[in-house]
Structure formats: structure tokens, C-alpha cells
Chains A and B, each alone.
Chain A
Amino acid sequence: MLPANSIGMLKIHRDICGYCGCCVSVCPEGALELIDAYLEVDERCTSCGICAKVCPLGALEVTK
């Protein structure tokens, strides 16, 4: 698995993330996974931005 933050142009602001898993449930590609208090994104991410929209805290950002 590739390191988070380096792919898909999806930036995870770890200082904001509340590791709740809301984003994981809506990801149509299954590209996100919540590993305890650590959110991971893998190469299946298409930068669609659905996760960034639903995040209760605004911890995700698509940087196109």
C-alpha cells in the first residue's frame, strides 16, 4: 500500500481528522480505511471529493 498523502491528490489533515470513519462509508471505490486513529487512502482513490464533502470536521481536501 502506498503511503497516505502522496496519491490521489487527497490530502488528509491529520490534525483535524477525528477518525470517525464517516468518509470511509461513502467512498465508492473503497479507497479509504480507518486503522484505529489513522485514516489511510490507497491507489483506488479517484479524487472524487465525496469524502471531503461529508467530513464533519473538514479534515479532507482534494488538491487538484
Chain B
Amino acid sequence: MKDSYDLLVIGGGPGGALAARTAATAGYSVLLVEKRPAPGAPVRCAEGIGKDALAEFVKPDSRFISAEVTGAELVAPDGVSMMLSSEMAGSKVGYILDRKFFDRELVWQAAEAGADVMVKTRASAPILSGGAVKGAVLEYCGSRKKVHADLTIAADGVESKFSRWCGIDTTVPVREIMSAAQYLMTDITIDPSTTVFFFGNTIAPEGYLWIFPKGNRTANVGIGISGKKSGPGNRAKDYLDRFVAGKFPNGKTIECIVGGVPVCRPLESTVMDGLMVIGDAARVVDPMTGGGIYNAMFTGRLAAEVGMKAISDGSCTREGLMPYDEGWRKSPLGKSIERNWHIKEKFITLPDAKLNAIIHSAKALDLRDFSTISLVKEIIKRNPLLLADLAGLMASIG
């Protein structure tokens, strides 16, 4: 570890690794720090990602892919389900990753590209000078060291503190944190090529419960509920235990993980002098699905691309970094976050009877593609009165 770098990246998840890999590949000096002993562990993720989405950033490899999925089943509160399957038979639409291997692979790629990597190393304070971020104080196994950087990228996840220390309010509203729990279960009977989503205010209030296959008889079985609905006796783990007791009474849980997923709007600003914020730390998760892997990689790479130019120009100011903030907001990703936030706000208000009606109406759908948005569009078409206000939204923002 040197005393100064062009770029300091705080956090070794997919977002931080993409930022580090991008800048290191272009020849910039980069330090990536990860506070945990190993990237990727413990997992805090349902591990699903679209096939095309993954391929934008990394060559798919069986070492970090647990399963390929071709369809999804949506289960209404009353138990009626609808299948979404790819129109082209046999084509794979999504992957369930193994994040322990995936995250390690991406950090390895960053290191291979020339980035320095420090694990078990925590950024405990920013170095601030005249209101600008100039690096961080790093703690590693009892030692403390200042590392200066022209640019710092905060990729420190849902529990992000770094940008808060720099003056950005990152607090997630209680009603917009998804409190989540997940078991990796084995010896269960599932369809190994289908993801299953369960909806309803009894099963997963303001959220959903999922079964994401990880093999023939193995799956991530998890749930996210609104923080507003969480409390003694009705926490994410309580809901999950009740579901598992009924659905997989003989299944074996070989991993138990928990997490928080921010489904609020993104930070008002993701840049300041000397600092960019990406991924979960920037709250750029898809508010409908809670998915954040792609969004983290997208913002990570874009931050590095904008950041490299700013570093070379000596202009790592808020203005110099602003093309990153504007760039992701104007991108299809940014637009879909904004649109899906509105859709989420509508869907969480629906009582079970309406959720039943929606899934019944869409039961026979054969969607051309697999995106959330094409599903929502079809549902609105079939439920014009129920979701009239959303139809207006969809028409206005496409």
C-alpha cells in the first residue's frame, strides 16, 4: 500500500470492484479496500441477475454461476400462480450467482488489472481539506494510516458511513428499508429453472418472498418486508420461518443470512468535491425488485470513467464529477429506478384482494421479454381501473 493513489475505492462488492477494475485497466493507480476478511462473504443477497445484464460486465463462468433460470412464477396471496416464461424455448434469461465466488472474481480482475487491494481494512474517516475529500484514514489489524487520493469512491454498501462522514445524508426512511432474511436450503423439491415470487400482506407485507434455485434440490429461500411492518414476532425471519415450516418442513438450512435493501429514491447528489458514491451506498437499487448487483456495477464503471477524466484534468470537484451524477440519472437505469419507485409506491398500497385480481388477470400472459416493466405494462392494460394512476405515469415516462 502506497501513501497516495489516483483513486481510492472503499468497498469490495461488485460496484467497487468494477470501479477499481475500470480505472486500473486504464493505467490509473488504484487502491481498493474491503473491511471484511474476504469479499463476498457473508453473502447478503438473493443472487439473481439477468443474463444480458451480467454479460455487460463480466464473461459468464460456471465458477460463479449456481443456476440458470428460464422462467418465473408469481404466486398471488390466494395461492393462484402465473408463469412467466421466455418466448424462445430453451433460452436462458437469468442467473443465480454464487456471490462468494463472484465478488472474489471481480476483485481478482481489479487486482489483475493493476489495482492494489487491501482486505480486513476499514476506512474510519475521510481526509477532508477545505470541504473536499482527499482520501481516507485506513485501519488494518490495529494499524492506522492516512492514504491520500485525488478521488475517492464510496462503495460501502447499505451500511455506508463514508459519505455520511463527508456530509451527505444517507438515512433510509424506515418504510423504505426492506428488512430481509434468507436461508440457503437443500433437500427441497423445487423447479431448478424457475424463480418463484410470493406476494401478499400475510406472507410478506410490502415486499415479497422468493425461491431462487441454486441447483436441483437447493435454493435461496428468502423474504423482504418493509421496515415499517417489522417488529417483535413479525420480523423478516419470523415470516420466513412460518413459510418454510409449511412449504419445506423437511428442508435443511445450510446458511442463514440477513440484510437490508434500500428501496428509497437514490441520494439527492452522488458527488461532492473529491467523492463519488455508487451502488447500494448511493441507494440506486431497483425499488421494485430490490435488485442491486447490476446497478452497482453500472454506477461503479461509470463513476470510474468520469473520475479518470477528472483526475487527468485535475478537476475532481463537484462540478468536474457531475457528469457521473447526471449520467446515471439520464441513463435507462436511472430512468427505470425513478419509474419503478413510483410503481412500487402504488403496489405497496394494494390489499390482497387486488393483488389476487392482478395475478388472475395476467395468468395467461406470454411475455415477449422478461422485464419487470413489460409485466407491469401488461398488468396495467388488463386492470385499467385498478391502476389508472399508474397508466398515466407509464404514458408520461414510457
Interface residues of A (CB under 8 A from B): 18-28, 30, 33-37, 50, 53-58
Contacts and interface: CB of A to CB of B under 8 A. Distances in A.
B235 A55 contact: yes
B232 A34 contact: no
14 contacts: A18-B257, A20-B257, A22-B159, A22-B258, A25-B170, A25-B260, A26-B173, A30-B164, A33-B159, A36-B120, A53-B174, A54-B177, A58-B235, A58-B237
Interface of B: 35-37, 42, 44, 120, 122, 157-161, 164, 170-174, 177, 179-181, 227, 230-232, 235-237, 256-260, 262
Given A25-B171, A26-B174, A33 B161 contact: yes
Nearest to B280: A25
Nearest to A35: B122
A34 B257 CA distance: 15
A21 B157 contact: yes
Given A37-B36, A56-B230, A57-B258, 8 more contacts: A24-B159, A25-B171, A25-B260, A27-B171, A35-B122, A53-B230, A54-B230, A56-B237
Nearest to A30: B164
B35 A35 contact: yes
B91 to A, nearest CB: 35
**Which of A21, A25, A55: most chain B CB closer than 10 A?**
A25
A54 B258 contact: no
B161 to A, nearest CB: 6
Contacts of B37: 36
Contacts of B171: 25-28, 30
The 10 A-B pairs with the shortest beta carbon distances in the complex, nearest first, are A21-B159, A22-B260, A54-B227, A18-B258, A24-B159, A56-B236, A56-B258, A20-B258, A25-B172, A20-B259
B161 A24 contact: yes
A43 to B, nearest CB: 16
Given A22-B158, A25-B262, A57 B120 contact: no
Contacts of B177: 22, 25-26, 54
Nearest to A59: B258
Nearest to A27: B171
B164 A20 contact: no
A56 B237 CA distance: 6
Contacts of A22: 158-159, 177, 179-180, 227, 258-260
Contact of B174 (A19, A37, A50): A50
Contacts of B237: 56-58
Contacts of B230: 53-56
Contact of B160 (A18, A25, A37, A50): A25
Nearest to B260: A22
A56 B35 CA distance: 22
